[in-house]
Amino acid sequence: MQLRSTEDHARIAVNWLSAKCEVVILGIIKRWYEEKVLPGLLNSLMKSPDMTEIRRRWVPEATGDVIEIGVGSGLNLPFYQSGARVFAVDPSEELQVFAREVAERSGTIVDFCAQSGESIPADDNQFDSAVITWTMCTIPNPHNAMMEIKRVLKPGGRVYFAEHGLSPDVNVAKWQHRINGLWKPLAGGCNLNRQPDRLLIEAGLTIDQMECGYIQGPKFATYTYQGFAST
């Protein structure tokens, strides 16, 4: 059996070290992008005129004790009616920096919780209304999150939603499936091809009103489901 030379061992060590360094560097870049770049980018992208009009339409309908899943940078907060008390759930502490500033300016009563919607720290039947906008796409287990929303809503409580998702257009849907794997890490875990209506129904919620269609922007990311469902 031929023994490896010192040069062989050195080459193996260098290759191993290079691979480890590459992993570390990529991890640093990923963390920098997710913590420093992505929050501000999302905050800007989510301010389109069409999105703002959808928020203006549905958010004021949520009254009383409200739970908002995926509060993000707080773009819904100015649209709540006076007197609404909002329990705002979102795992991103970076985005909540923006949301706290919005809450202070708008005067909305908000209790922030840095946690995922898949495990809501609230009692059964605690809230009158729920709001979830452009959030189902990023939750790792959206079914669990919808079940949690149903659990914490009072009987007859409503979920007001506006979500992008799978297009009924075959050609658009084909591209949504194709590029989803590339899109997801660039857009903070966003999936292009989920079906918000199905997620609500599978959680045992009843869709009372829903409208669907494209809003401003590329079709693969803008087919929007909006309306409300009830327990």
pLDDT tens profile 181-230:
999 988 888 999 999 999 999 999 999 999 999 999 999 999 999 999 99
Contact 77, 49 (CB under 8 A): no
Please give the pLDDT value at position 1. Answer: 47
The verdict on 38 and 53 lying in the same domain is no
Q: CA distances (Å), 119 to each of 20, 149, 153, in order?
A: 35, 9, 14
The verdict on 87 and 111 lying in the same domain is yes
Beta carbons within 8 Å of 187's beta carbon, 6+ residues apart: 42
pLDDT band with cut points at 50, 70 and 90 for residue 95: confident
Quote the CA–CA distance of 20 and 31 in Å, as a whole number.
17
Long-range Cβ contact pairs of 169-173 (< 8 A, separation 24 or more): 169/219, 169/223, 172/219, 172/220, 172/223
The verdict on 103 and 35 lying in the same domain is no
The verdict on 195 and 143 lying in the same domain is yes
pLDDT band with cut points at 50, 70 and 90 for residue 120: very high
The verdict on 34 and 60 lying in the same domain is no
Please give the pLDDT value at position 46. Answer: 79
pLDDT band with cut points at 50, 70 and 90 for residue 16: low
The verdict on 128 and 220 lying in the same domain is yes
The verdict on 134 and 32 lying in the same domain is no
The verdict on 131 and 155 lying in the same domain is yes
- Domain range for 15 is 1-45
Beta carbons within 8 Å of 33's beta carbon, 6+ residues apart: none
- The mean pLDDT value for 18-27 works out to 58
The verdict on 35 and 120 lying in the same domain is no
pLDDT tens profile 34-81:
666 666 666 667 789 999 999 999 999 999 999 999 999 999 999 999
Please give the pLDDT value at position 29. Answer: 54
Percent of the chain having pLDDT more than 70? 81
Residue 226: CATH number of its domain: 3.40.50.150
In the chain, the number of structural domains is: 2
Quote the CA–CA distance of 157 and 130 in Å, as a whole number.
8
Q: Measuring CA to CA, which residue among 134, 106, 131, 132 is closest to residue 48?
A: 134
Token digits of residue 57: 């339409």
The verdict on 68 and 138 lying in the same domain is yes
The verdict on 22 and 66 lying in the same domain is no
- The mean pLDDT value for 149-169 works out to 98
For the chain, give the mean pLDDT. Answer: 89
Quote the CA–CA distance of 166 and 187 in Å, as a whole number.
16
List the beta bridge partners of residue 223.
Answer: 214
- More confident position, 47 or 148: 148
The verdict on 200 and 97 lying in the same domain is yes
